[in-house]
């Protein structure tokens, strides 16, 4: 097995509402979807964002478009009007998710 970044297999975009974000995660190739479902779990995403203390992480699956949607509660330090962050919307966090390590069969690289 070989470790690569999620970035190699999928693209993503963050949206925000109040103190909650969603991050879409979309497989480039439909055949990778099951691999992503197996490895990019709610608990791994919660762990990856643990320093932001998410109150809840929920994953929704959209197999017909090879995508999933992660919803993370209370990760914006209050949200767009309350946070002291330069990125008040958390828009950059999609690429933080894409840094997640993924194990693939050796021949994939």
Partner 1 sequence: MDRLLIGCGAGFSGDRVDAAGPVVRTLIERGGPAALMFEMLAERTLATAQLARRLDPELGYEPLLELELRPVLADCLNHGITIVGNFGAANPRGAAQMIRRLARELGLVPPRIAVVSGDDLSSKAGRQVIRDCLPGGFDDDRFVCANVYQGAFEIAGAIKAGAQIVVTGRVADPSLALGPAIAHFGWGRTDWDLLAAATMAGHLLECGTQVTGGYFADPGKKDVPGMHDVGFPIAEISPDGACVITKASGTGGLVDARTVKEQLLYELHDPAAYITPDVVADISEAEVTELGPDCVRLSGVRGHARTATLKANVFFDGGWFGEGEISYAGPNAQARARLAMDMMQKRMGKVLDLRFDLIGVLSIIGDDAGRLLESIPDGQSTDIRLRVAGKHEDVRVIDRLLRDVTALWTGGPAGGGGVRVAKRQRLLTQSCLVPRDQAPATFEFLA
Neighbouring CB atoms inside 10 A of 26's CB total 17
Q: Which of residues 34-73 bind partner 1 (CB under 8 A)?
A: 51-53, 60, 62, 64-67, 69, 71
Q: Which is nearer to partner 1, 43 or 81 (CB)?
A: 81
Q: Which is nearer to partner 1, 50 or 105 (CB)?
A: 50
The three-state secondary structure class of 108 is helix
Nearest to 79 by CA among 21, 18, 16, 14: 18
**CA–CA distance, 47 with 54 (Å, rounded to integer):** 9
* x/- track of binding to partner 1 for residues 66-95 (CB under 8 A): xx-x-x-----x-xxxxxxxxx----xx--
Nearest to 80 by CA among 69, 96, 91, 71: 91
**Interaction of residue 96 with partner 1, rule CB under 8 A:** yes
Site residues, partner 1 (CB under 8 A): 7, 11-13, 15-18, 20, 22, 24, 26, 28, 51-53, 60, 62, 64-67, 69, 71, 77, 79-87, 92-93, 96
């Amino acid at each position: 097995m070989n470790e690569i970044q999620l970035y190699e297999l999928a693209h993503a975009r963050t949206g925000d509402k109040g103190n909650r974000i969603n991050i879409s995660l979309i497989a480039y190739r439909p055949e990778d979807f099951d691999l992503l479902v197996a490895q990019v779990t709610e608990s791994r995403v919660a762990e990856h964002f643990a320093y932001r203390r998410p109150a809840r992480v929920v994953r929704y699956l959209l197999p017909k478009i090879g995508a999933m949607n992660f919803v993370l509660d209370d990760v914006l330090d209050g949200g767009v009007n309350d946070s002291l962050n330069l990125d008040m919307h958390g828009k950059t966090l999609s690429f933080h998710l894409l840094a997640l390590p993924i194990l693939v069969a050796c021949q994939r690289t």
